[in-house]
Structure 1
């Protein structure tokens, strides 16, 4: 059994659907990955916010770890993935609780992918905003 490790590295490219008031200095995507409990990515309002990650090579995701701000979480999350030039396909749904704790969701038998996208659906916030303090994907490199 190979121990799952974080798949996010300096070469991982991330994109997000939006940033609150376009204020990337205060609420940018990098704050999901800086291991600082005081900083966060804060999306703008609107349905179906998302984060996408492109890895330097193919990976198999075995776990998603995410920490929302309570009141600004997603009730339903959709993990999608694909190889470089293909279309995203559904890998898994997971259903976070609306609280401030770091939550962990095992992903069963995910195929090798180069890119993943996490769709945040049904935000707890009336305006659809999502606030993520921490996001990590665990797994292994697919050789």
Structure 2
């Protein structure tokens, strides 16, 4: 029997992060830097409106296997999907849809095997559990096979 595949964080391979918006343009308190800082007290908080999104650009082509996301309950994406730029291509294409629960715990979203490596990833939150469309994320991690 084969050993289960082990994943590790690919956060150190992210060279650029972009987000759709930041609450009240307050990047110091709610900016994208808080997605990967490991601090349980900080978060990225989008401004109102839908959709919201996060784009991650990698330093090299990678095989991405799953997303780990910890939302703040009440500010959770409802209808979400992942788009990717595959190696050798130039534009984003949808590869997977997911539907988070409205909870505070870290949720794991496996991604399908795309048979190719990725240079960029876009996470789209088409709607939110928040009436105003805001998204709040305390932790985001992108994992791949080791």
| TM-score with structure 1 setting the length | 0.92
Task: Tell me which residue corresponds to 2:78.
Answer: 75
Gaps of 5+ in 2: none
Cα deviation for residue 76 of structure 1 reads 1.6
Q: Structure 1: give runs of 5+ residues left out of the alignment.
A: none
> Which has more strand, going by share of residues?
1
CA distance in 1, matches of 2:62, 2:13: 15
2:117 alignment counterpart:
112
Which contiguous aligned blocks of 4+ residues in structure 1 show a shift greater than 3 angstroms?
Answer: none
> Do 1:7 and 1:140's aligned partners in 2 also have CA atoms closer than 8 Å?
no
Does 2:136 align with 1:131?
Answer: yes
- Provide the rounded CA distance (Å) in 2 between the counterparts of 1:81 and 1:92: 9
For 1:7-26, what aligned pairs fall within 5 Å after superposition?
7-9=10-12, 11-26=14-29
From 101, 114, 117, give the equivalent of 1:97: 101
- Conserved? CA contact 2:13–2:59, under 8 Å: no
2:34 aligned counterpart, secondary structure: helix
TM-score (norm: length of structure 2): 0.90
For the aligned residues, what is the CA RMSD?
A: 1.6
